[in-house]
């Protein structure tokens, strides 16, 4: 059975990229183009894993993680941050708010799949 | 009573057999080692080929995404955003600008879009020199640590209409690799075309709207 993944990123290019990376693998992808719509989706459905950008308009990645962790549907869900920022401060802040791990942008298929397998076991 | 000479001969024969058996084993061992070496070499070749295919797939995948996104809209602003998204998300560009040529003779250019630069930023002297070079040929890529990192001409047909200059990439990336250069190569050939098409379409749409309004106006007057 497919694992449900929610991807949150305002870049359609990146979402398409991840979609293609995961094509043919047992993952079903749901897209959200910002933190607010992702929180809405979390109110309707539970996901096995959440992939999120940090730098987004309106509700950014940090606020999204913080608010998602307060929802019963995402309290325990692994949250993987996709970051272009090398600065450890950002990553540490994301971890402090509840992120589980991170991958670098540009996202490499190998790195992405490794992190998914680590969290989802498939 | 056993004959000691006979016993010695028997032992000698046994030793000879054992020796021959050991030689056979050693020969077989040598043969197996050779075969194992060949299998290992084959495995290495397969592994290398797998890595090559994976890397090739990654190139194709990125080119597909870039191409698909570039031609997914006819809104000039969206095309520009897409070019920026590709440079950020697929190449890892942190500081870059997209300059369009205002005048081919004087090389006057205006900054159309950027990431991490100041509004209205111009080209640095070295970039102008490189621009002169690349506008008539292929992209230029700097050595690690060199500034800028890349100067990529934007072409419509054989005519260069602008440039992408990359001044910085994400910290965890050391250089612009083969894959990055492939994506920038695609942008060189397709970004300006997509942008020009979108601009022409927007212009035509505006003219069409004006004509429609004009015709409606005439209709109401007659």
Q: Which domains are assigned to chain A? A: 3-120 (3.40.50.2300)
The residue in chain A having the minimum alpha-carbon distance to the alpha carbon of residue B78 is A12
CB B126 within 8 A of CB B147: yes
Pick from A9-13, A27-31, A94-98, B55-59: least confident:
B55-59
Phi-psi label, residue A58: left if phi above 0, alpha if psi -120 to 50, beta otherwise:
left
- When the pLDDT of each residue in chain B is averaged and rounded to a whole number, the result is 90
Whether B170 and A104 lie within 8 Å, measured CB to CB: yes
- The shares of helix, strand and coil residues in chain A, as percent rounded to the nearest 5, are 40, 20, 40
Taking only residues 100 to 159 of chain B, the set having a beta carbon closer than 8 angstroms to any beta carbon of chain A reads none
* Residue B222: burial class (beta carbons within 10 Å; 0-12, 13-18, 19+): exposed
Chain A residue with minimal CA distance to B171? Answer: A86
Give pLDDT, residue A118.
95
At residue B158, the pLDDT reads 82
Q: Are residues B86 and A106, on separate chains, in Cβ contact within 8 Å?
A: no
The per-residue DSSP string of B132-148 comes to: HHHTTS--EEPPTT-SS
Write the DSSP string, B91-108.
I-EEEEEEEEEEETTTTE
- Taking residues B98-123, report their average pLDDT: 87
Query: With 60 as the cut, is the pLDDT of residue B1 above it?
Result: no
Query: Would an 8 Å CB–CB cutoff place B190 in contact with chain A?
Result: no
A68: pLDDT strictly greater than 90? yes
Query: What tokens appear for A61 in the block?
Result: 């990645």
Percent of chain B that is helix, strand, coil (3-state, to 5): 60, 20, 20
Query: What tens digit of pLDDT does each residue of B116-174 get?
Result: 898 888 889 999 999 888 888 889 999 888 889 999 999 998 888 999 999 999 887 87
**Taking 80 as the threshold, does the pLDDT of residue B105 lie above it?**
no
Mean local confidence (pLDDT), B47-66:
87
* Mean pLDDT confidence for A12-37: 93
CB contact under 8 A, B171 and A86: yes
Query: Is B62 close to A108, i.e. CB distance below 8 A?
Result: no
Report pLDDT for A117.
Answer: 95
Three-state secondary structure call for residue A63:
helix
Quote the minimal CA–CA distance from A72 to chain B in Å: 32
B50 to chain A, any CB pair closer than 8 A? The answer is: no
Picking from A7, A12, A13 by the largest number of B CB atoms within 10 A of its own CB, the best residue to mutate is A13
> Which of these, B13, B216, B85, lies nearest to A107 by C-alpha position?
B85
Q: CA B110 to CA B171: how far, in whole Å? A: 28
Cα angle, residue B153 at apex, residues B147 and B155 outer, rounded to 5°: 170
pLDDT band, very low/low/confident/very high, at A87 (cuts 50, 70, 90) = low
Tell me whether B178 touches chain A (CB under 8 Å): no
- Identify the closest residue of chain B to A19 by CA–CA distance: B65
CB contact under 8 A, A84 and B91: no
Would you call A13 and B85 a contact, using CB atoms and an 8 Å cutoff?
yes
Least CB–CB distance from A17: residue in B54, B89, B172? B89
Q: Which helix (H) or strand (E) holds A74?
A: none
Q: In A, residues 66-85, which contact B (CB 8 Å cutoff)? A: 84-85
Average per-residue pLDDT in chain A?
92
Across B7-30, average pLDDT: 94
Whether B69 and chain A come into contact, CB under 8 Å, resolves to yes
Torsion of Cα atoms, B30 then B36 then B40 then B42, to 10°: 100
B213 to chain A, minimum CA–CA distance in Å? 35
pLDDT at A85: 67
Test the A interface: residue of B60, B87, B89 with most A CBs within 10 Å: B89
């Amino acid at each position: 059975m497919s694992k449900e993944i929610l991807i949150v990123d305002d870049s359609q290019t990146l979402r398409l990229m991840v979609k293609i990376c995961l094509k043919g693998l047992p993952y079903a992808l749901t897209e959200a183009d910002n933190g607010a719509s992702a929180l809405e989706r979390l109110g309707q459905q539970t996901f096995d894993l959440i992939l999120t950008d940090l730098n987004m308009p309106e509700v950014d990645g940090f606020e999204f993680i913080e608010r998602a962790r307060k929802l019963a549907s995402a309290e325990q869900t692994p949250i993987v941050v996709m970051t272009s920022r090398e600065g450890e401060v950002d990553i540490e802040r994301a971890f402090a708010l509840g992120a589980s791990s991170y991958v670098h942008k540009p996202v490499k298929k190998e790195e992405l799949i490794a992190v998914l397998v680590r969290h989802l076991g498939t | 009573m056993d004959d000691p000479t006979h016993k010695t001969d028997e032992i000698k024969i046994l030793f000879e057999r054992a020796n021959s058996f050991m030689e056979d084993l050693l020969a077989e061992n040598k043969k197996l080692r050779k075969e194992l070496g060949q299998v290992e070499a084959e495995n290495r070749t397969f592994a290398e080929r797998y890595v090559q295919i994976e890397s090739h797939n990654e190139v194709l995948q990125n080119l597909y995404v870039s191409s698909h996104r570039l031609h997914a809209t006819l809104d000039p602003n969206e095309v520009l955003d897409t070019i920026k998204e590709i440079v950020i998300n697929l190449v890892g560009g942190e500081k870059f600008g997209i300059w369009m040529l205002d005048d081919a003779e004087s090389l006057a250019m205006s900054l159309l879009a950027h990431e991490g630069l100041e509004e209205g930023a111009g080209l640095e002297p070295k970039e102008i020199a490189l621009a002169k070079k690349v506008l008539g040929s292929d992209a230029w890529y700097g050595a690690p640590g060199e500034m800028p990192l890349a100067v990529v001409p934007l072409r419509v047909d054989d005519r260069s209409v602008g440039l992408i200059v990359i001044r910085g990439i994400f910290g965890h990336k050391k250089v612009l690799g083969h894959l990055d250069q492939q994506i920038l190569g695609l942008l060189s050939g397709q970004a300006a075309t997509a942008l020009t098409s979108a601009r022409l379409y927007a212009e035509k749409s505006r003219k069409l709207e004006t004509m429609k309004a004009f015709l409606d106006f005439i209709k109401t007057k007659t």
